[in-house]
Chains A and B, each alone.
Chain A
């Protein structure tokens, strides 16, 4: 409590800071809309004092959304915008909310797929689709967090290879993987850690997914280390995971790897083997 207050005071004293938000993180997101009135609505519903703000551009149909990552999520902001009637990358407005928009704001819904389009695309043919059989009760044979780690390592490898496109794809997959974790199958201790960290992981994944270049991706990737390390320690996999340390990047940074050999994701080919194994996390 006290440290927060102190930080807040310090913040106010800092000269020349233009950003209004702490832990600010900005992302550009596509949001449908048509007119200056849309802009007003979108920016108004996105804005929450000290949490989030948006700047929507009617021509590009994109918004620069800035959030305090400790207080809210991009999802929450995009949900609010959709509830106000505006389709965006992640959420489609409820039909009633879209219908309630004033005439000039009734934009063409480019994100929304209608059953008619579906029927045309599939040629009215759903016969070939084999229905899923009822799922038996889940047996806790595989660790539900495995997919999250798998994708994390894919992301790391993409950064090692300095492949921004692959990293972006992996980050988006990570975001998705976080959402589908079967928390019911987690052990109690892991569950607790998961509940504390999942939001951060998803947020960073989102940030990497929408980062403009490799440099920004790497900077955000650094933030994944601490939550992923906590998770790895809470539920150690059968194969060991190495916590690696690079003394140079951003004054010292860590990452996780399944290989003992150092392959630095922060510099890639520039300094591929810079770093050392700091800790081995094993069962």
Chain B
């Protein structure tokens, strides 16, 4: 295999004077049961451990990794994150590499043309979430020895990742309720808003069709450092300068890193050296790696290196040194309603975000600072300013927070001359249906993007969604155009905050298919990405049937999700079920009385969501109902049409549209020519667990219900329905 040396790599050229060696690791992947919280859960172990073992190499050597899938049924894969290697070894199943079938062994052998902190993880479904992530460290050949400690951060949830994924798609906020137990206020209910005198803010937020301020999507039971709630590096003494190689191997969490022993010096990001920069803290996007150097101030003391999730619900610690434990200051709870107020200012009525001329980029203007008590003061005395610096944390406080503009490569990284292919990507998405895309198109809705050797690719990214996205490019380093001229830093993950515009560029030197995607696992699985293709000279040796493999690869974001809720009340059974993909949905609703007088009613419709916010849902459907003993009612609707509810069996066509205040308008005409308009809203969060459902329509039907959420499945519900009267009972959600 020829040694490919990436022209954009400042530090990877092999210098002579050594004999390259082959370093071999054998990895056996098995499924296993673990108990992090006292409950036994399925997870993946490699060589019996979680996380996967740290693989250590020396630059210039050859890595040989023998991977055996020891699982009975599941297929798997391993992707070598941040490494420059032949595309068919990149480990994206069906795109570049064949999946590793149960019982199968694959050998990955490639020369290491770079050094630094990288990692490896499964690229199959959601396996990465449950243990399939490990550190991949390449030491420089000539580097003075110094103590070092590798830390891979991750999360643990007792909920099955597939269920997390499914619930995200049904906009279920059980995650927020769980967070609320740890950090009160996380649900941002009406009662929370009133308590904080922010009802107006909350109402404006709902007027602009936002459910709550989302900082992160998923509730985790634990955060882990090297697979443990607390990690340690005890063998350190006063004065030691230790290099900590931090990897964010989480599936969806950003981590704030702070240190109890003073400043941290950032010396590398995503494996690539940067000129040392001293900071008090920095945030690690999902899949980013940072190398820092810290000094141990005193003996007989362990200093806390604290990693706190962006939502500040949980943290994990690494204790550097041994002895009495010096705590770092914990990050105080977010001021959600300040964030909501900020979001209200920036959200236009059409769902677009408006940066109000601030040209946000490179993490310099962080509008989240309005939620950070350490920057803008405690809730009671929140400081807000109006000037240009109002979101500049470094200007507003003494705390130095790293941002991308501060990263500078020690060596020039200018691209070789060549034609430039410029692409503009707008990141789009909506929380309610958990659609994440680029230009409102998912991977399976687009073609591969052709790039050619000799060409330079420039991507101008704009984030028009409400969440930050860590965008990762496989098999290349890109330059982050950050005002450092020829010394722009090289990275392979770019965190881009809402409203930011960033430019990245890379030379199209590597042949083959390369995935570019959001590294929040649940966003990737929802289709947020693109594939670049740089036509290879030879067909892919490991995927002979290219068309079939491509179709299989595209299946990922085409999944259908099922959800259902129903109550069992004293007056009947009232519920709905939905089967939905990212654009299509089949919904059915039922109201089943126990007596003929209450009757039975079932309707179903099938339709497609339109627009990036997916507020429009045109649909066709059927409506069937029967009841007896109602001869006295007017049987006429608001449009003066005759409207018997005693016996009906019709088809209808209509649409749903989400109005301000999150009211859903459902308008339809049926095959008998009858019109119906209905307004409804489910799940109005009166308190963190008490929810109000409201509905009224032009057939003079109305319903009001109160639901108290007990757990992720069960609730107690009482409601009044114009047809069925008052009822109480239990309700379940699947």
Partners in one complex: yes
| A residues neighboring B (CB under 8 Å) | 79, 82-83, 89-97, 111-115, 117-118, 121-122, 126, 129, 131-138, 140, 179-180, 183-188, 191-192, 195-196
B103 sits at the interface (CB 8 A):
no
State A195–B40 Cα separation when bound (angstroms): 11
| Contact, CB under 8 Å: A91 / B324 | yes
Q: Which of B46-54, B86-94, B565-573, B726-734 contacts A (4 or more CB under 8 A)?
A: B46-54
Residues of B with C-beta under 8 A to A186: 48-49
| Contact, CB under 8 Å: A129 / B328 | no
B301 sits at the interface (CB 8 A):
yes
Given A132-B145, A140-B48, A184-B49, are A115 and B325 also a contact pair (CB < 8 Å)? Answer: no
Select one of A93, A114, A137 contacting B54, CB under 8 A: A137
Closest 8 CB pairs of A and B: A94-B329, A113-B298, A188-B32, A126-B239, A92-B326, A115-B297, A118-B238, A184-B49
Q: List 14 A-B contacts (CB under 8 A).
A: A79-B327, A97-B329, A114-B298, A118-B239, A131-B145, A132-B145, A137-B25, A138-B53, A179-B230, A179-B232, A187-B48, A188-B33, A191-B34, A192-B34
Q: Which residue of B lies closest to A135 (CB)?
A: B148
| B residues neighboring A (CB under 8 Å) | 25, 30, 32-36, 38, 40, 45, 47-51, 53-56, 137, 139, 145-148, 226-228, 230, 232, 234-235, 237-240, 260, 297-301, 324-330
| Contact, CB under 8 Å: B33 / A117 | no
State A139–B51 Cα separation when bound (angstroms): 14
State A97–B147 Cα separation when bound (angstroms): 30
| Contact, CB under 8 Å: B49 / A91 | no
Q: Which residue of A lies closest to B236 (CB)?
A: A132
Q: Which residue of A lies closest to B260 (CB)?
A: A94
State A180–B235 Cα separation when bound (angstroms): 11
| Contact, CB under 8 Å: B51 / A91 | no
State A83–B304 Cα separation when bound (angstroms): 13
Residues of A with C-beta under 8 A to B227: 183-184
Q: Which residue of B lies closest to A95 (CB)?
A: B329
| Contact, CB under 8 Å: B56 / A117 | no
| Contact, CB under 8 Å: A196 / B299 | no
Residues of A with C-beta under 8 A to B40: 192
| Contact, CB under 8 Å: B327 / A133 | no
Given A117-B298, A118-B238, A129-B239, are A192 and B325 also a contact pair (CB < 8 Å)? Answer: no
Residues of A with C-beta under 8 A to B137: 134
State A138–B49 Cα separation when bound (angstroms): 11
| Contact, CB under 8 Å: B297 / A114 | yes
Select one of B50, B53, B235 contacting A137, CB under 8 A: B53
9 further contact pairs, Cβ within 8 A, besides A97-B327, A115-B238, A140-B47: A91-B326, A114-B298, A118-B238, A122-B238, A126-B239, A131-B146, A132-B147, A135-B56, A180-B234
| Contact, CB under 8 Å: B32 / A136 | no
Q: Which residue of B lies closest to A127 (CB)?
A: B239
Residues of A with C-beta under 8 A to B329: 94-97
The listed residue with most A CB atoms (<10 A of its CB), out of B32, B35, B49, B237, is B49
Residues of A with C-beta under 8 A to B55: 137
Shortest beta-carbon distance, B590 to chain A, in Å? 34
| Contact, CB under 8 Å: B327 / A184 | no
Shortest beta-carbon distance, B318 to chain A, in Å? 12
Shortest beta-carbon distance, B34 to chain A, in Å? 6
State A23–B139 Cα separation when bound (angstroms): 51
Residues of A with C-beta under 8 A to B36: 195
Residues of A with C-beta under 8 A to B49: 140, 183-186, 191
Select one of A90, A93, A122, A184 contacting B226, CB under 8 A: A184
Q: Which residue of A lies closest to B304 (CB)?
A: A94
Shortest beta-carbon distance, A131 to chain B, in Å? 5
Given A122-B238, A132-B235, A188-B48, are A137 and B56 also a contact pair (CB < 8 Å)? Answer: yes
| Contact, CB under 8 Å: A136 / B235 | no
Residues of B with C-beta under 8 A to A187: 48
Residues of B with C-beta under 8 A to A90: 324-325
Q: Which residue of A lies closest to B261 (CB)?
A: A115
State A135–B327 Cα separation when bound (angstroms): 26
Shortest beta-carbon distance, A239 to chain B, in Å? 22
Q: Which residue of B lies closest to A186 (CB)?
A: B49
Q: Which residue of A lies closest to B235 (CB)?
A: A132
Residues of B with C-beta under 8 A to A96: 329
Select one of B230, B234, B327 contacting A82, CB under 8 A: B327
Q: Which residue of A lies closest to B298 (CB)?
A: A113
Residues of B with C-beta under 8 A to A188: 30, 32-34, 45, 48
Residues of A with C-beta under 8 A to B147: 131-132
Q: Which residue of A lies closest to B55 (CB)?
A: A137
Residues of A with C-beta under 8 A to B237: 129
| Contact, CB under 8 Å: B56 / A118 | no
Shortest beta-carbon distance, B499 to chain A, in Å? 31
Residues of B with C-beta under 8 A to A195: 34-36, 38
Q: Which residue of B lies closest to A124 (CB)?
A: B239
Residues of A with C-beta under 8 A to B260: 94
Residues of B with C-beta under 8 A to A133: 145
Given A114-B297, A115-B297, are A192 and B33 also a contact pair (CB < 8 Å)? Answer: yes
State A7–B684 Cα separation when bound (angstroms): 39
| Contact, CB under 8 Å: A184 / B297 | no
The listed residue with most A CB atoms (<10 A of its CB), out of B50, B139, B297, B327, is B327
Given A183-B228, A184-B49, are A134 and B330 also a contact pair (CB < 8 Å)? Answer: no
Residues of A with C-beta under 8 A to B51: 184
Given A91-B327, A129-B237, are A192 and B56 also a contact pair (CB < 8 Å)? Answer: no
Q: Which residue of B lies closest to A133 (CB)?
A: B145
State A135–B330 Cα separation when bound (angstroms): 30
| Contact, CB under 8 Å: B145 / A113 | no
| Contact, CB under 8 Å: B35 / A192 | yes
Residues of B with C-beta under 8 A to A91: 324-327
Q: Which residue of A lies closest to B237 (CB)?
A: A129
Residues of B with C-beta under 8 A to A122: 238-239
State A195–B50 Cα separation when bound (angstroms): 13
Given A113-B299, A137-B56, are A92 and B145 also a contact pair (CB < 8 Å)? Answer: no
Shortest beta-carbon distance, B383 to chain A, in Å? 18
Residues of A with C-beta under 8 A to B38: 195-196
State A167–B53 Cα separation when bound (angstroms): 36
Residues of A with C-beta under 8 A to B139: 134
State A102–B50 Cα separation when bound (angstroms): 45
State A90–B260 Cα separation when bound (angstroms): 15
| Contact, CB under 8 Å: A92 / B325 | yes
Residues of A with C-beta under 8 A to B298: 113-115, 117-118
